[in-house]
Amino acid sequence: MRTRPGPTTRARVRELNGATARERRDDLATEEPLEIRVTAPDGGRRTVAITMRTPGHDFELAAGFLHGEGLAGPGDIAAIAYCTDEDLPPEARYNTVTVRLRGPLPDLPALERHFLTSSACGVCGSASLEALRDRCRPLPADPLRLSPGVLYGLPDALRRGQGVFGKTGGLHAAGLFTGEGALVGVREDVGRHNAVDKLTGWAALTGRLPLAGHVLVVSGRASYEIMQKALAAGVPVVCAVSAPSSLAVELAREFGMTLVGFLRGERCNVYAGEERLAME
């Protein structure tokens, strides 16, 4: 039987440096598919997503995906396990997760066109703001105020928490911080949406939702899907080291979130919710 895949894979490479070349071994970020299935007490079963991900924290990824899509909250999940169905080949068992629900299967037609997702795609969230309005409300006002010193220090703090990135240089990261800048948790993945799902899934499975008073920092751009996942988890502030999309900004403004982009060094752009920043 195949061993459980890890977050890194060793490979031999030929390194060129000027006119010289040498053979050496390199660490690569592992990328493998993960199928997420849900089952119900009445025997119902359904695959809800197949995504390319970095192995590790797979149960959190499944829980975070279901919560972010509004399909199942922490109280709806009875158990999560790797699949051992007889129809599944042994080499795929660590790449298939089954989430056993306490109640019936959720309404899934909206996910039909999102069945297959990649680690880089943007089709693993709700289709539009209109769909999001049906299940989410604007975030309530909160006392969170970020000082410039805390804000500017977040990317470096996230980078220090990226253990696998240090080996491979090929992973996105999502970090959760307090309003004082303390790192609460970090997750890495080849897919930026997966990294956020792993982090919010961890929060869901450990009874930490909603994440009021916290800051989500992502190592790439801020997409609509990332903002949707943050909103579902109750995160009031999202910071990205790169650019946001137009729909991400629209979502932040409509739902009372703070969105910061291009957070690098001691500069950034604030696209929404500047009232949460304690600037002079």
Domain boundary among 74, 104, 133: 133
Domain boundary among 133, 161, 188: 133
Q: What is the pLDDT of residue 47?
A: 92
Q: How confident is the model at residue 93 (pLDDT cuts 50, 70, 90)?
A: confident
**Residue 264 assigned to a binding site:** yes
**Residue 22 assigned to a binding site:** no
Residue 127 pLDDT > 70, yes or no? no
**Residue 265 assigned to a binding site:** yes
Number of domains in the chain: 2
Active site residues: 121
**Which of 21-25, 62-66, 226-230 has the weakest average pLDDT?**
21-25
- Using DSSP's 3-state secondary structure scheme, residue 79 falls into strand
Region 166-179: mean pLDDT is 85
Q: Between these two residues, 25 and 111, which has the higher pLDDT value?
A: 25
Q: How confident is the model at residue 128 (pLDDT cuts 50, 70, 90)?
A: low
Q: Name residue 78's amino acid.
A: A
129 with 158, same domain: the answer is: no
Residue 178 pLDDT > 60, yes or no? yes
Does the residue 58 lie in any domain?
yes
Global pTM value = 0.89
259 with 213, same domain: the answer is: yes
152 with 270, same domain: the answer is: yes
Domain boundary among 108, 133, 158: 133
**Residue 220 assigned to a binding site:** no
- Closest by CA position to 201, among listed 213, 162, 117, 189: 189
| Cα separations in angstroms, 229 against 6, 49, 126, 218 | 26, 16, 10, 12
Q: What is the pLDDT of residue 123?
A: 43
| CATH number where 112 lies | 3.10.20.10
Tokens of 151: 């804000």
54 with 102, same domain: the answer is: yes
Region 169-190: mean pLDDT is 93
Phi, psi angles (nearest 5°) of residue 138: -55, 145
* 192-205 vs 58-68: helix crossing angle, rounded to 10: 90
Q: What is the pLDDT of residue 5?
A: 81
Q: What is the pLDDT of residue 130?
A: 79
105 with 165, same domain: the answer is: no
Q: Between these two residues, 109 and 148, which has the higher pLDDT value?
A: 148
**Which of 1-15, 60-74, 76-90, 207-221 has the weakest average pLDDT?**
1-15
The range of the structural domain enclosing residue 99 comes to 32-133
